[in-house]
Amino acid sequence: MTSPNSLREAVVDILPSVRADLEALVRIPSVSADPDRAADVRRCAEATAELFAAEGLDVQILTASGGAPAVVARSPAPEGAPTVLLYAHHDVQPIGNLADWDSEPFEPTERDGRLYGRGAADDKAGIAAHLAALRVHRAHRGALPVGVTVFVEGEEEVGSPTLAPFLDEHHDLLAADVIVIADSTNWDVGVPALTTSLRGLVDVIVEVSTLEHGVHSGLYGGVVPDAVTALVRLLTTLHDDRGNVAVKGLVSGPAADVDYPEDRLRDEAAILDGVQLIGEGSVVQRLWTKPAIATVALDTTRIADASNTLIPSVRAEISLRLAPGDSTESAMRCLTEHLTSNAPWGARVDVTPGGSVAEPSVIEADGPAYDAARAAFREAWDGTDPVDIGVGGSIPFIAAFQEAFPEAAVLVTGVEDPDTRAHGVNEGLHLQEFERVCLAEALLLSNLAPDSA
């Protein structure tokens, strides 16, 4: 049996090489949403494959249904040991406005204990954490204590559109007793977490039209409704006066008894002074187990191009996060019915499904695998117990894994913390937390071995 202290020392020894590998991956601009970056996505898959091949795993780069390249690396299980699937993704979000970054997004840069760069956390640090756990065991004992399959996807940031056929086509290759998904967050710096619920997601494009073409606002204003004003009135029907979602038929549920102070929320979300929070219920209930609706985009005339014209037609993208226990089919129907039945002034309202669909997930985090994970986290974080948390965001593939491998224990872990700023500018990885994540995963593999008792 491998002692925690010896693994802790081994992590310290291998961490510089793991960080160097992580930085090399960050330098590859593997933006899956940009067709012009397809070659970079392929290059990142190849670089990832080389890293795990160097650790002695049997590596393949695979696709399904024309999707982005994924890496599957395998090491067979010792006699009597379980197989653990380690998931991460090598694609990243676009950078947004380059001018808002404090350093080059694809040149990893350390500042104040964080490593900044696009993908430095989400989710190339997940790849690096898996790499570290394997490297620690190979360096320390020359072999892995359990069977390991590493699955590094290449299209998570565009909604994993071909994951379902990938899991179907390569089902036997990916079958495992325990699935570790390193793509979530910890509760705070110094406090680990296991994610046990996630909201789902649907979005729609709503187009509101009032005129066949634009007309003079002076000649017709006051009698003829413009499309922008009609849209605004429609959008206000989505919430009541307290900010609760007002769409009938959506599911809400109770949340874990976890304290999330309002001042912490305000700081982490960068809420402006004087802006009130919306909705009712505890903070974690509103974030984790109640629906949320936001208007995330508008198509209308730019201010620079404006004239005194009543705008005839306008479009908005509306994003709906649905609570665990709901379904995307039901939520889409409820949202569509609400929008079409609340058209102001007889305006024409057309609703088209958007491109985002993710089922909500609930994980019953009980049993030997979860006990092994909690013990590993407690050791890695020097006696701090992990918090079971929900996540208000959506990870579409978790429901897909649960459906494909219903007998497997699914552990959703993370390399992020509340100030990681994943998807935003100045995304950064807390390096001390990353060291704990690497140790926790190495300990988890030891704890899952049959000789760990």
By the 8 A CB rule, do 72 and 140 touch? no
Map the chain to HEC letters: CCCHHHHHHHHHHHHHHHHHHHHHHHCCCCECCCHHHHHHHHHHHHHHHHHHHCCCCEEEEECCCCCCCEEEEEECCCCCCCEEEEEEECCECCCCCHHHCCCCCCCCEEECCEEECCCCCCCHHHHHHHHHHHHHHHHHHCCCCCEEEEEEECCHHHCCCCHHHHHHHCHHHHCCCEEEEEEEECCECCECEEEEEECEEEEEEEEEECCCCCEEHHHHCCCCCCHHHHHHHHHHCCECCCCCECCCCCCCCCCCCCCCCHHHHHHHHCCCCCCCCCCCCCHHHHHHHCCEEEEEEEECCCHHHCCCEECCEEEEEEEEEECECECHHHHHHHHHHHHHHCCHHHCEEEEEEEEEEECCEECCCCCHHHHHHHHHHHHHCCCCCCEEEEECCCCHHHHHHHHHCCCCEEEEEEEECCCCCCCCCCCEEEHHHHHHHHHHHHHHHHHHCHHHC
* AA letter at 48: T
- Catalytic positions, written as ranges: 91, 156
pLDDT at 255: 84
- The predicted pLDDT at position 17 comes to 98
**Domain spans, the chain:** 4-198+361-452, 200-253+290-358
User: CB 269: neighbour CB atoms within 10 A?
Assistant: 10
CATH class of the domain defined by 4-198+361-452 = alpha beta
Report, in angstroms and rounded to the nearest whole number, the Rg of the chain calculated over CA atoms. Answer: 24
- Per-residue pLDDT of the chain in tens (453 residues, 90 and over written 9): 567 788 999 999 999 999 999 999 999 999 999 999 999 999 999 999 999 999 999 999 999 999 999 999 999 999 999 999 999 999 999 999 999 999 999 999 999 999 999 999 999 999 999 999 999 999 888 899 999 999 999 999 998 999 999 999 999 999 999 999 999 999 999 999 999 999 999 999 999 999 999 999 999 999 999 999 999 999 999 999 999 999 999 999 888 788 999 999 999 898 999 999 999 999 999 999 999 999 999 999 999 999 999 999 999 999 999 999 999 999 999 999 999 999 999 999 999 999 888 899 999 899 999 999 999 999 999 999 999 999 888 887 888 899 999 999 999 998 999 999 999 999 999 999 999 999 999 999 999 999 875
The pLDDT value given to residue 253: 87
Count of all residues that appear for the chain in the document: 453
* CATH of the domain spanning 200-253+290-358, picked from 2.60.40.10, 3.30.70.360, 3.10.450.40, 3.90.330.10: 3.30.70.360
**Predicted pLDDT at 226:** 98
pLDDT of 152? 98
Q: 147: which strand partners?
A: 83
- From the list 418, 394, 414, 264, the residue with the least C-alpha distance to 328 is 394
- CA gap 185, 421 in Å, rounded: 11
Q: What pLDDT, on a 0 to 100 scale, did the predictor assign at position 400?
A: 87
CA angle 231/233/234 to nearest 5° reads 60
Q: Which pLDDT does position 1 carry in this prediction? A: 55
The residue among 152, 191, 166, 187 whose CA lies nearest residue 73 is 152
Cα–Cα distance, 63 to 66 (Å, whole number): 7
